[in-house]
């Protein structure tokens, strides 16, 4: 018991004397609670109506005119893409009001939500000077499984790349492995390049295996090119690995490293559209999501898998991933340290 108490007390002192870890243990739960409070401040409506109009004011005017309550109204700038969302049941109803008082609306013949919203729209039009023109759309429904699988694969890649590189390097530094490597002819560039290539191969192999298994057992929707999806995965993995490297350049405490990696990964997991769509969310939240590499990985992968997008159509996401990678990989060799600070 005496030996146990000695180790027990020593470990407790080691923790609370590490001011960074102690502060993180207090601050991190507060950040997560604040994030959830901001993200889920209100319950989401059951149905979604897409509106193709000139501006937000026109959408607000149409919303007040129709007065259909308890639905989410989402402005659509691109009509063909919005119609595609109707095909895949991502929107329940699509309305275009470019020629008032005439309204065109699109509905999927196999959408339950679209059926009820159409009946409500027809009832509302009886009391309003509106002329309705119906466009019937058919298409396979995108199951939630089809929609969420790109996010799950990207999230798994994120954790593997961040912790598989960042945490490991910090552990090397803490245990003196990097100090021994410094005495060899190995330079920082060679060491970091080897870490990137190793984790990239591991990440692509594991992600591909999960994707093949999910596709075989659950018949997931895949409309695009497998090569395009592989390019998205490779660029996404490199961007995440580069962030993991830059987070581990100077840290020598594994507990602090774990906290840093969590504060990087958890906001990405909740704000990058892994589990739910940010369409219709607060504009500031959508803007923040565009700065996260996981957002571009998930959006690009979904575009390829669910919409059959080409490389040209997902080029903005690819350029964003390349920019993040270039910036991180440029800074990493400049601030990397072999020894403990």
Give the model's pLDDT for residue 98.
62
Give yes or no for residue 139 having a pLDDT over 70.
no
Least confident of 11-15, 38-42, 77-81, 239-243: 38-42
In the structure, what pLDDT confidence band is assigned to residue 38 with cuts at 50, 70 and 90? low
Give the model's pLDDT for residue 127.
72
User: What are residue 94's DSSP bridge partners?
Assistant: 50, 106
Mean pLDDT of 31-53: 65
Give the model's pLDDT for residue 28.
57
pLDDT exceeding 70 applies to what percent of the chain?
82
Least confident of 38-47, 89-98, 138-147: 38-47
* Separation CA 240–CA 242 (nearest Å): 5
Give yes or no for residue 64 having a pLDDT over 70.
yes
Q: Which two tokens mark 201?
A: 């191969």
Q: Which two tokens mark 222?
A: 């895949």
Give the model's pLDDT for residue 237.
92
Give the model's pLDDT for residue 223.
83
* Separation CA 182–CA 93 (nearest Å): 62
Least confident of 29-43, 88-102, 273-287: 29-43
Q: Count Cβ atoms below 10 Å from residue 338 Cβ, excluding itself.
A: 16
Give the model's pLDDT for residue 323.
93
pTM for the structure as a whole = 0.69
Contacting residues for 58 by C-beta, under 8 A, at least 6 apart: 97
- Which fold is adopted by the domain 47-137? abc type-2 transporter like fold (3.40.1710)
In the structure, what pLDDT confidence band is assigned to residue 229 with cuts at 50, 70 and 90? very high
Mean pLDDT of 213-236: 87
Give the model's pLDDT for residue 115.
82
- State yes or no: cis peptide before 101, omega within 30 of 0: yes
Give the model's pLDDT for residue 301.
92
Give the model's pLDDT for residue 236.
93
Cβ(303)–Cβ(313) below 8 Å: yes
* Ranges of CATH 3.40.1710.10 domains, the chain: 47-137
Mean pLDDT of 15-42: 58
In the structure, what pLDDT confidence band is assigned to residue 68 with cuts at 50, 70 and 90? confident
Q: Count Cβ atoms below 10 Å from residue 31 Cβ, excluding itself.
A: 14
Tokens 């970091």 sit at which residue? 192
For the segment 113-124, what is each residue's pLDDT rounded down to a tens digit?
888 888 888 887
**3-state SS string over the chain?**
CHHHHHHHHHHHHHHHHCHHHHHHHHHHHHHHHHHHHHHCCCCCCCEEEEEECCCHHHHHHHHHHHCCCCEEEEECCCHHHHHHHHHCCCCCEEEEEEECCEEEEEEECCCHHHHHHHHHHHHHHHCCCCEEEEEEECCCCCCHHHHHHHHHHHHHHHHHHHHHHHHHHHHHHHCCHHHHHHCCCCCHHHHHHHHHHHHHHHHHHHHHHHHHHHHHHHCCCCCCCHHHHHHHHHHHHHHHHHHHHHHCCCCCCHHHHHHHHHHHHHHHHHHCCCCCCCCCCCHHHHHHHCCCHHHHHHHHHHHHHHHCCCCCCCHHHHHHHHHHHHHHHHHHHHHCCCCCC
pLDDT exceeding 90 applies to what percent of the chain?
10
For the segment 241-250, what is each residue's pLDDT rounded down to a tens digit?
988 888 888 7
Closest CA to 192 of 239, 247, 260, 242: 242
Q: What is the mean pLDDT of the chain?
A: 78
Contacting residues for 224 by C-beta, under 8 A, at least 6 apart: 303, 304, 305, 307, 308, 309, 310
Give yes or no for residue 292 having a pLDDT over 70.
yes
Give yes or no for residue 22 having a pLDDT over 60.
no
Give yes or no for residue 143 having a pLDDT over 60.
yes
> How far from chain centre, in Å, is Cα 216?
24
Give yes or no for residue 261 having a pLDDT over 70.
yes
Give the model's pLDDT for residue 317.
93
């Amino acid at each position: 018991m005496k030996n146990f108490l000695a180790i027990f007390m020593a470990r407790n002192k080691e923790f609370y004397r590490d001011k960074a870890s102690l502060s993180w243990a207090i601050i991190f739960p507060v950040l997560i609670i604040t994030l959830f409070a901001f993200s889920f401040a209100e319950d989401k409506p059951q149905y979604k109506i897409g509106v193709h109009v000139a501006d937000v004011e026109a959408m607000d005017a149409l919303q007040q005119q129709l007065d259909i309550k308890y639905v989410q109204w989402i402005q659509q700038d691109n009509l063909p893409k919005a119609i595609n969302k109707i095909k895949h049941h991502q929107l329940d109803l699509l309305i275009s009001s470019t020629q008032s008082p005439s309204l065109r609306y699109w509905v999927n013949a196999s959408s339950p939500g679209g059926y009820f919203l159409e009946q409500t729209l027809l009832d509302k039009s009886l009391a309003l000077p509106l002329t309705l023109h119906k466009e019937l759309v058919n298409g396979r429904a995108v199951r939630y499984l089809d929609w969420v699988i790109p996010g799950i694969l990207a999230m798994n890649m994120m954790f593997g790349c961040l912790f598989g590189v960042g945490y490991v390097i910090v552990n090397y530094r803490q245990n003196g492995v990097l100090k021994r490597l410094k005495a060899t002819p190995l330079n920082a560039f060679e060491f970091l390049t080897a870490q990137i290539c190793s984790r990239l191969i591991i990440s692509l192999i594991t992600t591909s295996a999960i994707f093949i298994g999910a596709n075989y057992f659950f018949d997931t929707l895949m409309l695009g090119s497998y090569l395009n999806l592989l390019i998205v995965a490779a660029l996404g993995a490199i961007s995440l690995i580069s962030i993991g490297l830059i987070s581990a350049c100077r840290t020598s405490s594994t507990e602090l490293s774990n906290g840093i990696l969590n504060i990087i990964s958890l906001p990405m997991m909740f704000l990058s559209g892994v589990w739910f769509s940010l369409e219709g969310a607060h504009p500031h939240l959508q803007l923040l999501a565009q700065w996260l590499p996981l957002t571009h990985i998930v959006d690009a992968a979904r575009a390829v898998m669910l919409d059959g997008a080409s490389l040209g159509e997902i080029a903005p996401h690819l350029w964003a991933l390349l920019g993040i990678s270039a910036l991180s990989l440029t800074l990493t060799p400049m601030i990397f340290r072999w020894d403990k600070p």
